[in-house]
Every structure is written in C-alpha cells, then in structure tokens.
Structure 1
Amino acid sequence: MPTHLIPLERIPLTVNGKVDRAALPAPDAAGGGYVAPRTPTEDLVAQVWAGVLGLDRVGADDDFFALGGHSLLAVGVVARLCAATGRDVPVRALFLQPTVAGLAAAVDRLRSGEDEPVTRRAAGPAPLSFGQQRLWFLHQLDPADASYNISVAYRLRGPVSEPALRGAVRAVVERHGSLRTRYTAGEDEPMQELLPPGGIELTIVDACTDAARVVMEWTNTPFDLAEGRLLRAGLIRLGPDEHVLSLVVHHIAGDGRSMGILVEDLRAAYEQQTLPELPVQYADFAAWQRTRVLDGDSLGYWRGQLTGVPVLDLPTDRPRPELSGFAGDFLAHDLPEPVVDAVRRLAADARSTPFMLLLSAYQVLLARLTGQDDVCVGTPVEHRPRVEVAGVAGYFVNTLALRGDLSGDPTFRQLLARTRDTALAGYAHQDVPFDRLLAALDVPRLLNRTPLFQTMFTMHTEDAAGTDVLPGVTAEFFDPGVRQAKFELSLDVWRTGGGLRLVYGYRTDLFDRATVDGLAGRFAALLGAVLAAPDAPLSTVDASGDGADRARLLAAPARTDRPAVADAPMAPRGYVPPRTAAEELVAGVWCEVLGLDRVGAHDDFFAVGGHSLLAMKVAGRLRAATGTEVPLRTMFSHPDLGGLAEAVEALMIADLAALTDEDAEALLVLDEEPTP
C-alpha cells in the first residue's frame, strides 16, 4: 500500500511522452505545508497575490510562480503593492524574492514613493496619453489602416434576449468613456474629448448565410478617430438559438485586458445588474500621466540598451515596398502538452517564466534566419500603475524593445539567463513611453520599416476576454477574420487547455503562407531541440535543417529588384534661403518648433532635429496657419522644406478649387474691410 497519495491535475511527462519522475512533487512538498502570514506586510502581500491569482489563501512560504504567476501578473502585483504601500516596488523584487515572506521583507526595506493617485479632472478636452499619441500618429499616416483594430467574436448557442443585449451594450458604453471619445488635432498636439452616452448601438444582422464575411468586414473596417464611436458591436442571427456576437474596438480605446473587462461588464449588464460608476475615466489617467516627470535613470537605461540596435534583416519572398502595407494573414500551430510541460519545468529551473523561455527560442530562430547574433524583438506589457484604473477600459499597454544577445555561442540555458535579465530590466524601466523613447533616441522613421524592431512576440494571459459571455448560453470563439498585420512577422502565444497555440502573423506583401508555415515547423523543431539539450552550445543544436528557409529566401531573385531599405537622404547642398511665400511660411513654423534661427529650402526636417512628435506639431501649426488639412504623411513623403512647401501649396489650391459659389461668396464677405 502507498504511504502517501498526492492528487495532481495531470502527470508530468517528458518531451518523449514518458512519465517525468523528477518532476513529481515530493510527499513533504504537497502535504499541506501552509504557513500563515506573520507580519502586516506579509498579510498584505498574501492578499494581493490571492486577488491577482484568484486563490482563496496564500501562505508566507508560497512561491508566486509555483502558484501560477507569470511576468504580466507580476506587473499587476507590483502596481497594487505600490498603491497600497506608497512605495516604489520594482518588478525585479518579485523575481528575486518570489515567496510572500521574501517579497514582504523587500517591501519593508523600500522607501516611500511620491506617486499621486489618479483623480477626476475638470470637464473638457484632455491631452492624449503617450501611448494614444503614438496610435493617433499612426492613424494620421494612414487613416485607412485597420491593423490597430482589436476584436473578439463568439458563436453563441442558446436563447439570446436581443433587447437585453442592446441595453447591455448601451450600459457598457456609458460606463467606459474611452469608447465614446473623439480625437482632434490641436495646433501643437492632438486632444481627446469625451462625448455623452449614445450613438453606439448594437447592429443586428438577420438570417445571414455568410457570418464569417460579415464579421471579417466589421473587424477590418477602419475607425474614424475624429467621430468618437470606437466600439463596433454586432449580432448575427444564424437560427432561433444560434448567433454570432462580434466586438471590435480601436486600440486607442482599449487593449487585451480591456476586452476582458468589456465582456465581463456586458454579461453583468445583460443580467440587469447596475454597473457602478468608475472612479476615473481613461482621459483622467492620460492627464495624470502627463504630470509625471520622466525618470532620467530609466531613459538612460534605454539609451544604453538600444543605441546602435541593428535592423532585423528578415529575408522575404518579395522585396520590401517603399511604403509599408498592412495586408496580412495568420497561421496557427499547436504545441502539445508534453512540450508545454517541458517548457514550464526548464523555465522554473532557470528561475524564469515560459514567456522568457519562448522568447529566447524565438530569438534563436530569428538569429538563424537572419545570420545576426544581435536581434531586437518588441513585446507589449500591460502598464496599469495605479489601482484606480484597474477596471477602466483603455490603452494601458507600453511596448518594450528587448534586445537579444546571442554572441559567443551560448548554451540555451545561458541565453535564457540573458533574456531573463534583459526582460527584468525592461520591466523595471517600463515607465518610459515607447514614443518618448523613439524621440530621445532620435530613431529615424522609415515608411517601409517599423522603428527599433520589425517583429513582435506576445504571450497572452487569462485576463483577456474569455468565453463566459452571456448567462444560459454556450459560447466558443469565432474567427474574427483579422486580415491586417502591424509587423513584418509576429508570434502570439495563447493558452489552450494544457497546451499552447502559436499564432504567426505576417505581411502578405512580403511572405508567402508556405514560407511562414515552414518557419513555424522550424520553430517547433528548434524548441524541442533546445529543451532536450539546454546545456549544449547553440551551434551544436540540430533543429532539422532550420536554415533551409533562409537559404531559399536569400537565393530568391526577387530580393535584388529594389533595395530593402529606403535610400539614405542626400547630403546637404548648402544653405538656400526660402524662395516663395509658402517656403517662408514652412520655414517660420520649422524654426518655432525646432528652436532654430533659420532653415533653408533644401533642409531636411529630420536631419535638422525633427522627429515624429515634432512632425505632429508642425502639421498642426501649418493647419492652423493655412486653414487647410495637412496630412501627417506629407511630412514624411516631403521631408525637405521646399518639397513640403510645394505640397502644402497644392493642398491649399485643391481646397480653393473645391469651394462652392456660396462658400466663396461667404469668404469674400468675411474678408471685406469694414466701412467707417
């Protein structure tokens, strides 16, 4: 007879499918070794962990990561501890002290911070948050781009009350002001204005025979940020008790966690629960963020980390066009449970997380694909720094550029340690908004490359929208039909039961589907190889010909048709003073914005100190001075003063030509001198 019985959710297996005896818990580790928190700080930490992890209780000796924590949840823990203690708790502290007792002791040693809470501001226009400002900037470059739409769709089986669902949508829109906010261009910077409830209604499509087409159209139709209706909610009737529900939000109004919040609130309102008023709205957070002083130490860290980062030169099936497109597609591969179990075990053994391990493996794939040992990958991180915004829908995501160092032929375990250190340092300095970072680093903007990194890696958590949508209804995810890609290549990781689903996004103007399918197969083989031999030098790890795609793509004749990167700007030709009234106008605006005494007709805006944030300011001032809409894209397509002046003049002439007789007569009346 056995002396101990230990219940497990599942038996841990090796990569080869055999029982992993080394991973089985020891009897004394599973026999109820709960130790109650012993100090007030331990009690606080335990309560925060329990709330974030969804547990009934947490003991003083419990390990955050053994309980199911990961890096994104760690950020939430730190935000709550900062708010509760008034101390600046770094994310790194949780990784270095992963037990309740250890973290509590670290918190006790910290000094109090000076962060003010987010509070309600006076009514009226508000500035954009730094993250919103970047999205507004991208929207101005291409208003027809829908790649920053985020969506979730469900197939619903069971009775749906359409009146209750209509009312629930209205209640959600009333509660979350970000869904009814319009964005306008001010003279120096864009502003956001909260609109009264109303104007956003549930769209119902009856007896649809092609629900996938309708949902795809809703998902891929761009939003008008100046209009202010940033939620698209639709219900498709497939039968008496079968529907498809689609929710689409522009990223400037929400993020992954926000979609979960919206679905939770939708269900509550559908059940006729009264949604309480939020303590603050997103615009209040944006105004609060603008009052914070940028941490010079954090900015200095990123300067040192990212200066000189090389372009990731991904080999493509076709040459890069001079202007990036956003048409894209997605391809999914599943990792089986035994592989996922091996990922968790190696990550735990290395005091890291599955995110860090999979990112490391992705860096190895990119290095082998490009031949580079210095690769930079972007990753989003949720940043809700105050508890006041915990339930608010909005854009609380910052982007971290994580630079991978594969030099010196490390083992995979050594690379994982490097990635862990880089990620922890990035989390510790995540307060620097990505667009402020680009401006500080003076990163040039190319119309066919994203700045700093060309690929994104994201590991999604259970905080995103789930399938508990409406009471009495069974819901399963329905393909929203996303057909736009933000980056040349991306990898999103989703949990599916005990396994993981890897979703590869790619731009269809650069890659064929067969190529990405081959890359996905190479990644699966590579992951299995490094898990089996984590202490072998990476150069000796055989991933079954993972260089085949690189060799084929590099040999493709299409790559020689045109340069992959836009030509460098021409050398300056010496100072030439402005020659026309339009050039004088543009020169005056440039001097004001850039703080210069003079600029010449051949000067390049970005060569004389301009960057994307200042370009927005120039476009706003030109708009105010001429009364003509000057698209932000014009600043990039005509970076020299003479070219921009000519483009602005052409826009003014086009506006005049479009005037009706009544408009012209009204202008003449307004322009007449008053009679004495």
Structure 2
Amino acid sequence: MHRPGNRINPGLRSAVRTHHATGPSALVPLLDGATAGWHTAFAERLRGPLDPAALRAALDAVAARQDVLRYRIVQGAGIVDPPGPVPLHDDLADIATRHFDPAQRLWRAALHRTGPDEHVLAFVGHRAVFDERTQALLYAELAAAYDGHRLPPLPTGFAQYVAWRTGRRGPADLLWWSTHLDGVPTRLDLPADATGTRPGPTGHADTVLDPATTAGIAGLARSFGAAPAAVLLAALGVVLARLAGQADLLVGTPMVGPRSPAFEPLLGGLVDIAPLRLRPDPASTFANQVRQVRDELLEALAHPTVGPVPATQVLFEVVDAEAPALELPGVTAEPVPLPVPTPVDLSLRCVPQGHQLQLAAAYDADRYRPERITALLAAFGNVLAEAVRSPGRPVTEFALRPDDQPAPDRDQTVVDALGRRAAVGELGEIVARWAGGWLGTGRPGRYRPDGTVEPAGTVPPGQPDPASVRALETGRR
C-alpha cells in the first residue's frame, strides 16, 4: 500500500494470463496480491453437533465447483489447480489480516473449536476472489454439500466471465471516464492527527442511525427515483467537502453492472470499484445534491471502468441486504464480527440492521485518532438526519455536529475571533479586523490551538497577514 496520492488502485489493477482447465485463456484482473488491506471476511459461531469431516468435504466440493477458488499466480501467469483438499486451519489469530501469497490460494478458511459442540468458522478472501455477493452464494453451496447434495459442475468459469466483461468495454467508456475525471483533485485533504509515509494499523468505529432517519433516507431516495446510496453519498459529500474545504472530490464505491445470467452462480471479483466524482455546492439544496449523485451513479453504471482509475483515499459501500444465514443441519449459526484492514485512509460501509442502518468506519489509526472518526460518523449521521427532515434547505445550513458532540481534538475546543468554540484542525473561514469590525475573507483555513488559523491555500495579494487573523467557522456546527 501507498500513502494518499499514490495509494493502491482500488479498481481492477493488473491483468495476468490464465490457463483454464478447458484450454482457453483469458485476462484475470487482480488487485495487488500481497496487499493485506483489500480483504473480505466473515465468520459464524456454530453451536451443535458439527461434523468437521463433512464440513471439510463440503468445502472441497465448493472449491471443485468454483474454479476461482483454485486460482494461483505464479511468475505472472494464472494457474487453476485441479480439484483437491482445501486446507482448513484451526487458528483464528490474524486470519483476516495476514498477507496473501499470490502463489498460494487467495482465500483461507478456519474452523476453531471453542467448546463442546461449539466452533467458529471463518472465511477470508482477497477481493479478487471474494466480493460482497460471495457470502450468500458460498453459504448456500456449502450448506447443500454439507447436507449431502451433489454440486453439479458449472457451465462456465471465471475466465469466461472475465473475457465477457472485457469484451463489453470499449473506447467510448475509456473516453467517458477520461473526460469525466479530467482535472479532478487527486488528494482529499481531510484533517488528520499525524502524517507518515507508511500506512498504520486499522482502527474501527461505528454508529447506528435511528429508525426514523433510516426510513427517511429510503423515502427521500424513492422521491427522486434513486437508490438510498444516492442520499447517503450526497450526505457524505457534504461532510467531506466541509471538513476538507474542497468542492470537488473522489470517492470510490463498488458498482455491480449488468451481467449475463450465465455468470450469476460464479464466485469471484465480479464488482468494479468506480471513482465517483462528487461536487457538493454549499449554496445548493440537499435535494439538488441527491439528483447530482443519482446521475453520477447512473453514468458510472453505464460506463464500466476501463484500465487504471485514479486512486481514492475514501471508499464507500452500501450493503443492500442483511448478512445471509448459514444453515447447516442440526447446527445453529450466529454471525461473528471479523474486522479487516482498510486499503485506504478511510472506508465507510452502510449496513442494514433491521429498521436501522449501521455506519461502520475502518481507518488508518496512525493518521486519525478514534475521537476524530467518531466525530466524523456523528457528522455524517447528523447531516443525514437534517437532510431527510429538510431536503429543500441549502446544505451550508446543516450542522456537522450535534450540540452535545465534543470536538475531535486533544484540547477539545478553542475560541475563535468572535468568542465561539471551534475544533482544532477543522475548517473555518479566515476573518480579519477591517474598519473596526470582523470581515470574512472568503478563504478557508484550519484552526490552530491558539484560535488563529492556518490558511488552507496561498494568501491572495492584498489579504491580511495570516498570522494576525482568526477563524470564524463556516456554517453551523
């Protein structure tokens, strides 16, 4: 992984030649095989008389049916191993964070016995192998095989899918993305607590939206003929733009485009990461923001990504359904959280939980302290709550932080030029004393601990000395 501006490409990054069992070759897109941070993981606590031997046999049957589970990359060439026993580890320690060796399997499974008739079954896969639709399909096939059903061979394989997908992407798509992303900033300058050249450990935080806000998001989306993702992304764009002082930014998000029914039963990385260009306008209403994001999503769906795409520092994902259940005969299964690292500075997932919506963040813990991410999630939730209540208001009127939410800085707050509380490192507007009063300069800056402001950009000629001015926050907190 690399630091912002040169991070791994969350899109499909490199192509390697594969030799399929039936003979044809195809291009298999893979992310960096050794990247620990681009994983999908899920686990279940199993209670009841589990048959470990039957479970091993079921895993073997699923891997025999799904050829992508037998892919390896050796000296730049893709190899599909013949069906055989699947290693089933018994140690859960760092299973979700260990690097994958491309020359070995790009996924792993573990079964750990925690007590009499109690086990934890865990799966971790590189995103080239597992995507968000993997869990339901894998659980269904594993349960069928465990119950003694034969899994028939699939009529097509992953190499055929990649060849089909490659064939439906053309010069027009490349031209659209090139034009659409021309001039977009490659860096998102979010307030951070530290800088460095190497990514640190991943921290995790989450919050839950109340049922009223969750229902309001769905209702607002319907009123604009959009998916809930459009509302969520619009609110996220407002928050990121306010914190970073940018009106033009990129957020990566998984996109599932049209697909031939022949490929529906396949495991594998069938989802692209699209770099969405968000341009929040503080003077515009939230309703207009939703329309713009809706159109951005539709255009991205209509133009599959082709070739390398700009790296993003923020990934955003909406999970469409609650986690599937693993139904093994005589055994009850309960999901177990299995956090994975983030390949970028900040990853956000929106996960349904009954009548509520969980906002979950994974972040570079060397760059951001927990308090800052907690405040960001609170801001996200607060903007969503205000947006569903008053979508016709300009977004500049939305508060980033509820009244009872502390500022995400070590000293909590400073006092600005007008005696108002402000958060160290957060964005404000530079003001100066002109003709006996305070006058906004229209330039963004970040609060210092002494209440003065560090300009976020260069000082235009004729403007006051930045050392002599103080900050007035833009909009309400």
For residues 311-356 of structure 1, the C-alpha deviation after alignment (integer angstroms, 9 at most, x for no partner) is: 211121101x23x425212111111211111111111112212111
Alignment of structure 1 residues 431-510 onto 2, 5 Å: 432-433=305-306, 436-438=307-309, 451-462=310-321, 466-482=324-340, 484-510=341-367
Answer whether contact 1:125 1:192 (CA < 8 A) is retained. Answer: no
Give the corresponding residue for 2:27.
128
Bigger shift: residues 473-482 or 412-421: 473-482
Distance 1:335 1:158 in 2: 34
Distance 1:412 1:527 in 2: 10
Q: 2:163 aligns with which of 249, 274, 287?
A: 287
Displacement of 1:202: 2.3
Give the corresponding residue for 2:49.
159
Answer whether contact 1:183 1:226 (CA < 8 A) is retained. Answer: yes
2:223 matches 1:349:
yes
Give the corresponding residue for 1:416.
290
Distance 1:280 1:422 in 2: 33
User: What SS does structure 2 have at the residue aligned with 1:425?
Assistant: helix
User: What SS does structure 2 have at the residue aligned with 1:477?
Assistant: strand
Answer whether contact 1:309 1:452 (CA < 8 A) is retained. Answer: no
Distance 1:121 1:166 in 2: 25
Distance 1:365 1:390 in 2: 36
Aligned partner letter, 1:301: W
Distance 1:293 1:497 in 2: 38
Q: Flag the structure with higher helix content.
A: 1
Distance 1:235 1:421 in 2: 45
Q: 2:136 aligns with which of 248, 260, 281?
A: 260
2:375 matches 1:518:
yes
Give the corresponding residue for 1:334.
208
Q: Bigger radius of gyration, 1 or 2? A: 1
Q: 2:62 aligns with which of 172, 184, 198?
A: 172
Give the corresponding residue for 2:100.
223
Give the corresponding residue for 1:70.
none
Alignment of structure 1 residues 374-393 onto 2, 5 Å: 374-383=248-257, 385-393=259-267
Give the corresponding residue for 1:407.
281
User: What SS does structure 2 have at the residue aligned with 1:152?
Assistant: strand
Give the corresponding residue for 2:81.
195
Give the corresponding residue for 2:302.
428
Gaps of 5+ in 2: 1-18, 409-421, 426-445, 450-455, 457-477
2:427 matches 1:552:
no
Aligned partner letter, 2:118: E
Aligned partner letter, 2:94: E
Displacement of 1:154: 0.8
2:414 matches 1:540:
no
Give the corresponding residue for 1:309.
184
Structure 1-normalised TM-score?
Answer: 0.56
Tell me the C-alpha RMSD between the 2 structures.
2.4
Gaps of 5+ in 1: 1-119, 206-213, 439-450, 558-563, 565-676
Answer whether contact 2:41 2:339 (CA < 8 A) is retained. Answer: no
Change (3 A) 1:519 1:428: same
Distance 2:406 2:173 in 1: 38
| Identical counterparts, % of pairs | 32
Aligned partner letter, 1:541: F
Displacement of 1:530: 1.6
Displacement of 1:490: 1.6
User: What SS does structure 2 have at the residue aligned with 1:172?
Assistant: helix
Distance 1:304 1:547 in 2: 42
Displacement of 1:384: 6.0
Give the corresponding residue for 1:47.
none
Answer whether contact 2:21 2:80 (CA < 8 A) is retained. Answer: no
Distance 1:474 1:409 in 2: 53
Distance 1:373 1:537 in 2: 15
Change (3 A) 1:520 1:347: same
- The number of aligned residues is 396
For residues 146-204 of structure 1, the C-alpha deviation after alignment (integer angstroms, 9 at most, x for no partner) is: 1122211011122211121111111111111111111123xxxx33111011242323x
For residues 439-461 of structure 1, the C-alpha deviation after alignment (integer angstroms, 9 at most, x for no partner) is: xxxxxxxxxxxx44210110012
2:94 matches 1:237:
no
Change (3 A) 1:293 1:536: closer
Distance 1:122 1:506 in 2: 40
Distance 2:406 2:283 in 1: 17
Distance 1:178 1:513 in 2: 37
Change (3 A) 1:304 1:547: farther
Answer whether contact 2:375 2:407 (CA < 8 A) is retained. Answer: no
Change (3 A) 1:255 1:475: same
